[in-house]
Structure 1
Amino acid sequence: MLKTTLKTLLLASTLAGAAGLAQAADITLRATATSNENDEDYDGLVVFKNYVENASNGAIAVELFIGTQLCATGEECLQGVADGSIDVFISTSGGAAGLFPYIQVLDLPYLMSDDRVAETVLSGDFTRELRARALADSGDAIRLMTIGNTGGWRSYANTKGTVHTPADLKGLKMRTVPADLPQQAAMAVGASPTPIPWPELFTSLQTGVVEGTANGITDIMSMKFPDAGLKYLTLDNHSYMGAFWWMSNARFEGLTPEQRQVVVDGFAALQQATFASPKRKSIQAYDDFKAAGGEVYVPTAEEKAAFKEAATPVFDWFKGNVTGGAEVFDQFTAAITKAQAEVDAERAADLN
């Protein structure tokens, strides 16, 4: 009886509080993700919305637009952020590379060793350095708030057979986005890059237009690619699938100092949610992949070293052909070296 009464009181209090928050809100942030409610981006936005609305005591409301209600492409959405019609938007590196080409540095293969290192890098000064650069390049219109994750790590998957070394990718028709960097990366490991839009990838795998792709397991299973013949996955984890969270700088600077703190802390909570979400979702995704007849292969240290060596020319290409690439590459690799040392020291201390 007491438990029932307490639950009733708690529910009534929560509903009353939510109603109070809604009535008190005098600022509404419009946030959009061109994905769906099964995606890590949505998980992050839900955490952000909950934190900001509660921590601001209802002064700030967050309205979520999932899908293409406000905009359809990265370029269109970022234009909305710049002109103030959209307050918050999440993009992949490819979705924002037209405006900020150097953010593709996260797509360079085999630089970060694992999640702990990646999360340390993206929680530190490297993100702030990218923020300053993006603000300058957008005329102080578009502010990078944080970098999270959207799908774990990219690995090679294909319809033909187990991939142990770059030699096994030779001539394989590898799906890429229509951008220079991923095509250079595919060629470096011996594959034949084939630009295919994401919505067409299932049919392209099914018909043999492409024979492989570089994706995370949650994307592979959400798109049901095993049904199109994708059966072989090599967990080389060659690049971290970064999620770039942008905000209208005018909107951010128009908030009070206290409200800006709430928003910054909200993005910190969002980042942690997107770091965690792929780890949980991948457990079921791997089980489903194997149940669908898929094979998961983990390369040896020597095999992974062979992939890294083959991909090395892409680094020079990036530094020489991407605007701002050389400086951002140096900042990124310096941040990785520092983060790796920190993580190694923490591991050593915890093993004592």
Structure 2
Amino acid sequence: MFKHMFKASLLAGALSLVAFGGIAAAADITLRAVANSNEADEDYDGLAVFKNYVENASNGAIAVDIFLGTQICGTGEECLQGIADGTIDVYVSTTAGAAGLFPYLQVLDLPYLMDDDRVAETVLSGPFATELRDLALQDSGGAIRLMTIGNTGGWRNFANTQHTIHTPADMAGLKMRTVPAELPQELVKTLGGAPTPMPWSELFTSLQTGVVEGTANGITDIMNMKFPDAGLKYITLDRHSYMAAFWWMGSARFASLTAEQQKVVVDGFKALQQATFASPKRKEIAAYQEFTKAGGEIYVPTDDEKAAFRTAAEPVFDWFTANLPGGGDIYASFTAAVDAAQAEVDAQRAVEMAQ
């Protein structure tokens, strides 16, 4: 079934044109790692840490070559095909980039279920990530292995060119850009906005011309793309979903490594995860300062306003469980993982706050 979901080997000739440099010539193994982003992105920060760790911990036996942008593959489907057929070794996708193949990953885009970084990082470092790994392995016929889940941009917040959003009522009629995936469109619609799916590359011009009036992104992405220059002025820090990044590796490639090499690689992915958890926390400091300097306004909802958003979004949970195959099961697993993580974080905080 999995093979029919992909186009037949789109990358067969592409990689033969690539000359690998660095220590690759002296290494026994070279891992080809792809991120459809740039050096300003958290994905690159994670890859830089991964490369450094793996090359040093393997004493140069494993090299990591990093390819940014679309020089190897241009879409999530193409890149995951490369993982499956072995022409790419490591790839990072957003939820939207992998949802066509693994739709249940969209559970992490469900809004207002995780309260903060500590809870989100606990969930993504625990058994729920293993459950997603096993599902993806099964659905890919054993070809694609989920290695870790990191972060790419902090939290999604609603931002727009028109006015401050205090409550869901302020979303009414706003033309909001979404990714093509169904869930974010359903969320905007449920909150009263008008979802407008479009590629990321078209968003600046669309904001500038009024084709759309808002978007849901992290502040680092907003400032990296200079959206205030396109008229984006208002951000509401509702933090409705954690911007997860899924790091994939070909199962056959991983299995070809010795046990010691596998240990180096999985430890490298752990270091990568920690780096991507930390990166947006640091970068958003300057990003928010730049946003306000550019005339932007930042609004933090009150507890009551946040509760109003959570209540207004509840139909999205019903839509998810009713419309995605296995949606009810994965939703139950995710909410159980969130509850367990919240309890763990609360217990840790109590110890930390003890007098």
CA contact (8 A) 2:148 2:248 kept: yes
% identical equivalent positions: 74
Task: Measure how far apart 1:24 and its partner are.
Answer: 4.3
Alignment match, 2:221: 219
Task: Measure how far apart 1:324 and its partner are.
Answer: 2.2
Q: Distance in 1 between matches of 2:76 and 2:231?
A: 30
Task: Measure how far apart 1:67 and its partner are.
Answer: 1.0
Task: Measure how far apart 1:21 and its partner are.
Answer: 6.2
Alignment match, 1:90: 92
Task: Measure how far apart 1:323 and its partner are.
Answer: 1.9
Deviation per CA, 1:26-68: give whole Å up to 9, x if none: 0110000010011000000000001011111111111111111
Count residues with an aligned counterpart: 334
Alignment match, 1:349: 351
CA contact (8 A) 1:20 1:58 kept: no
Alignment match, 1:290: 292
- SS of match in other structure, 1:140: coil
Alignment match, 2:128: 126
AA in 1 matched with 2:231: G
Matched, 1:41 2:43: yes
Alignment match, 1:13: none
AA in 2 matched with 1:65: F
Equivalent position to 1:182, from 184, 187, 193: 184
CA contact (8 A) 2:24 2:64 kept: no
Alignment match, 2:340: 338
Normalised by the length of structure 1, the TM-score is 0.93
CA contact (8 A) 2:33 2:65 kept: yes
AA in 2 matched with 1:30: R
Q: Distance in 2 between matches of 1:98 and 1:22?
A: 34
Moved beyond 6 Å, runs of 4+: none
Alignment match, 1:193: 195
CA contact (8 A) 2:208 2:230 kept: yes
Q: Distance in 1 between matches of 2:149 and 2:71?
A: 23
Deviation per CA, 1:147-177: give whole Å up to 9, x if none: 0000000000011111100000011111111
Q: How does 1:14-33 map to 2 (within 5 A)?
A: 24-33=26-35
Q: Distance in 2 between matches of 1:158 and 1:20?
A: 44
Q: Which 10-residue stretch deviates more, 111-120 or 320-329?
A: 320-329
Alignment match, 2:238: 236
Task: Measure how far apart 1:104 and its partner are.
Answer: 0.6
Equivalent position to 1:325, from 302, 309, 327: 327
From the superposition, tell whether residues 205 and 56 of structure 1 become closer, same or farther in structure 2 (CA, over 3 Å).
same
- SS of match in other structure, 1:238: strand
AA in 2 matched with 1:126: F
CA contact (8 A) 1:21 1:59 kept: no
From the superposition, tell whether residues 75 and 21 of structure 1 become closer, same or farther in structure 2 (CA, over 3 Å).
closer
* Alignment gaps of 5+ in structure 1: 1-18
Q: Distance in 1 between matches of 2:180 and 2:271?
A: 33
* Alignment gaps of 5+ in structure 2: 1-20
Alignment match, 1:154: 156
Alignment match, 1:310: 312
Alignment match, 1:102: 104
Matched, 1:64 2:56: no
Deviation per CA, 1:192-234: give whole Å up to 9, x if none: 1111211111111111111111000001101111111110000
- SS of match in other structure, 1:89: strand
AA in 2 matched with 1:248: G
Equivalent position to 1:249, from 248, 251, 260: 251
AA in 1 matched with 2:65: E
Alignment match, 2:269: 267
Q: Distance in 1 between matches of 2:41 and 2:51?
A: 16
CA contact (8 A) 1:21 1:57 kept: no
Task: Measure how far apart 1:238 and its partner are.
Answer: 0.2
Compute the RMSD of aligned alpha carbons.
Answer: 1.2
CA contact (8 A) 2:33 2:91 kept: yes
Alignment match, 2:16: none
Deviation per CA, 1:123-148: give whole Å up to 9, x if none: 00110000000000000000000000
- SS of match in other structure, 1:70: coil
CA contact (8 A) 1:75 1:95 kept: yes
- SS of match in other structure, 1:30: strand
- SS of match in other structure, 2:295: coil
Q: Distance in 1 between matches of 2:59 and 2:75?
A: 34
AA in 2 matched with 1:175: R
Task: Measure how far apart 1:23 and its partner are.
Answer: 5.8
Q: Distance in 2 between matches of 1:285 and 1:145?
A: 30
Task: Measure how far apart 1:121 and its partner are.
Answer: 0.4
